[in-house]
Amino acid sequence: MNQAPSLAIAGAPAPAAAPASTRGSERLFSGAVTGAGLIVFGLLGAIILMLVLGAWPALTHFGPAFFWNPVWDSVANEYGAGVMIYGTLATSLLALLIAVPLAMGVAYALTEIVPQAVRRPVGIVIQLLAAIPSIIYGMWGFFVLAPYLAQHVVLNVADAFVGVPVLGKIFDYGSGNSVFTAGLVLAVMILPLITAMFVEVLGATPVILKESVYGLGATRFEVIRHVALPYGKRAFIGAIMLGLGRALGETMAVTFVIGNATRLSPSIFAQGATISSTIANEFNEAGGGSLKLAALLGLGVTLFVISFIVLSISRALVGRRVEN
C-alpha cells in the first residue's frame, strides 16, 4: 500500500522515455553536487596529509617525545610541544572556568529576571558580540586588560599568597602578559557565544514543565536548577564543548597577551605560549624547509589532534551534531 515514492509504478514508461536533454541535465547536476560533496570530503584528508607531510622531518627527528618534550630552543635546534600543549590546555580551561558560570548567570538573568521586552534586543546584541573578530579581543586584552591586571591585580594576589604552599607557586609574581590574562581574554571572547547558546537551551525548556513545577510552589531558582538544567543537560555540555573548541584553537586573542615565552612555569601569572600563538609568532623566523618549520607544522598536527579529541568527546556526550 504505502510504497516509497521512488519505486517505479508498474506499467509506467521507463525513465529512458525522458528527453535526452533532461537526462543530461540531471546527470550534470547530480555530478556537480556529488563532486562538491567529494571536495568537502577530501578537504579534511588533504589538510591532515599536508600537515603531517610538512611536519614529518620534525616528527621523525624527535620521535614521539616531540609531544611532551618541554624544550623549545631555536638556538640548539631542539623542539618539543610540551610547553605549548600545557599553555593551550591551561588557557582554555581557565577560560571555561570563568566563562561558563558567567554565561550561566547571564542566561538565567536574561530568561528569568529581565523583563520580556528587553530580552530580544539583548539577545541580538549578544549574537553580534559573538561575531566580533577575535583580533579585537586580543587588542583589548593587550591595551586595556593586561596593563590593568599588571597594575591592580597581579601584585596584590601574589602578595596574598606568598609563603602558602602550592598556591604560592600557582599565584607567583608575574606580569600583565600571562597565561592568566590569555585565559581571561579567551573567557570574554567565548562568553557571548556560550551565553547565546545557553539562552537558547533555557528557552527550549517546555513551558508546561516549568509551570507545573511553579504550580507545586517552586521558586524561580529551583525551576532552573531542577527542571531547565537537567532538561537541557546535553545541550549545555555541547555549548561548553563548542566554547572549549573555540578557545583551544584561538590565535589572535591569545598571541597579543600571553607573552610568548616558551618555557614552563607553574605560575598562572607567568608568560607562556599556546600552540597557535607559537605558530603565529615564530613562523616568520622559520626558513622554508628548516627543522623549525617542520616543528611548527608538528605543533599544528598536535593542535589538530587536540581539537579532534574535543569534538569526538562532545559528540559522544551530546550524542548528535553539535549546533554551531
Partner 1 sequence: MSARASRRKAVNTIAGIVAGGAALLSLLALGSILWTLVARGLPALQLSVLTTSMAPTGENGGLANAIVGSLIQVAIGMLVATPIGILAGTYLSEYARGSKLGDVTRFVSDILLSAPSILVGLFVYVLLVATTKTYSAYAGGIALAVIAIPMIVRTTEDMLSLVPVALREAAAALGAPKWKVVTLIAWRAAQSGIMTGILLALARVAGETAPLLFTSLGNLNWSTSLGQPMASLPLAIYQYAGSPYDDLVQLAWAGALLITLGVLVINIIAQLALGRKR
- Per CB under 8 A, 311 contacts partner 1: yes
Question: Is 25 or 212 the residue whose CB approaches partner 1 more closely?
Answer: 25
- Could you please report the per-residue DSSP string of 270-305? S-B--HHHHHHHHGGGSPTT-HHHHHHHHHHHHHHH
- Per CB under 8 A, 211 contacts partner 1: no
Q: Nearest-CA neighbor of 259 among 202, 181, 317?
A: 181
Question: Is 50 or 167 the residue whose CB approaches partner 1 more closely?
Answer: 50
In the numeric block, the cell 525513465 is attached to: 15
Q: Nearest-CA neighbor of 283 among 273, 275, 292, 274?
A: 292
- Per CB under 8 A, 132 contacts partner 1: yes
Quote the least distance from Cβ 56 to partner 1, whole Å: 11
Candidate residues 87, 232, 249, 272; the one interacting with partner 1 per rule CB under 8 A? 249
Question: Is 8 or 33 the residue whose CB approaches partner 1 more closely?
Answer: 33
What is the amino acid identity at position 260? Answer: N
Candidate residues 245, 258, 291, 318; the one interacting with partner 1 per rule CB under 8 A? 245
Candidate residues 94, 250, 261, 291; the one interacting with partner 1 per rule CB under 8 A? 250
Quote the least distance from Cβ 76 to partner 1, whole Å: 24
- Per CB under 8 A, 139 contacts partner 1: yes
Handedness of CA 257, 259, 260, 265 (dihedral sign): negative
Interacting positions 70-109 with partner 1 (CB under 8 A) = 101-106, 108-109
Question: Is 43 or 164 the residue whose CB approaches partner 1 more closely?
Answer: 43
Quote the least distance from Cβ 164 to partner 1, whole Å: 26
Spell out a b/e string for 127-136, using b for 16 or more CB atoms within 10 Å of the CB, else e.
eeebeeebee
Candidate residues 174, 183, 192, 259; the one interacting with partner 1 per rule CB under 8 A? 192
Helical ranges in 216-251 per DSSP H:
220-223, 229-231, 233-249
Helical ranges in the chain per DSSP H:
20-62, 82-108, 116-131, 134-140, 146-152, 154-160, 167-170, 179-203, 207-215, 220-223, 229-231, 233-249, 252-255, 275-282, 291-318
Question: Is 211 or 222 the residue whose CB approaches partner 1 more closely?
Answer: 222
Quote the least distance from Cβ 37 to partner 1, whole Å: 4
Question: Is 103 or 267 the residue whose CB approaches partner 1 more closely?
Answer: 103
DSSP three-state, residue 78: strand
What is the amino acid identity at position 66? Answer: F
Interacting positions 270-299 with partner 1 (CB under 8 A) = 276, 279-280, 283, 288, 296-297
- Per CB under 8 A, 18 contacts partner 1: yes
Please count the residues of this chain forming the interface with partner 1, following the rule CB under 8 A: 88
DSSP 322: P
Question: Is 43 or 167 the residue whose CB approaches partner 1 more closely?
Answer: 43
Quote the least distance from Cβ 131 to partner 1, whole Å: 5
Q: Is the CB of residue 275 less than 8 Å from the CB of residue 302?
A: yes
Q: Nearest-CA neighbor of 244 among 96, 132, 138?
A: 96
- Per CB under 8 A, 309 contacts partner 1: no
Candidate residues 137, 171, 180, 236; the one interacting with partner 1 per rule CB under 8 A? 137
- Per CB under 8 A, 118 contacts partner 1: no
Distance (Å, rounded) from C-alpha 221 to C-alpha 210? 11
Candidate residues 8, 41, 63, 147; the one interacting with partner 1 per rule CB under 8 A? 41
- Per CB under 8 A, 25 contacts partner 1: yes
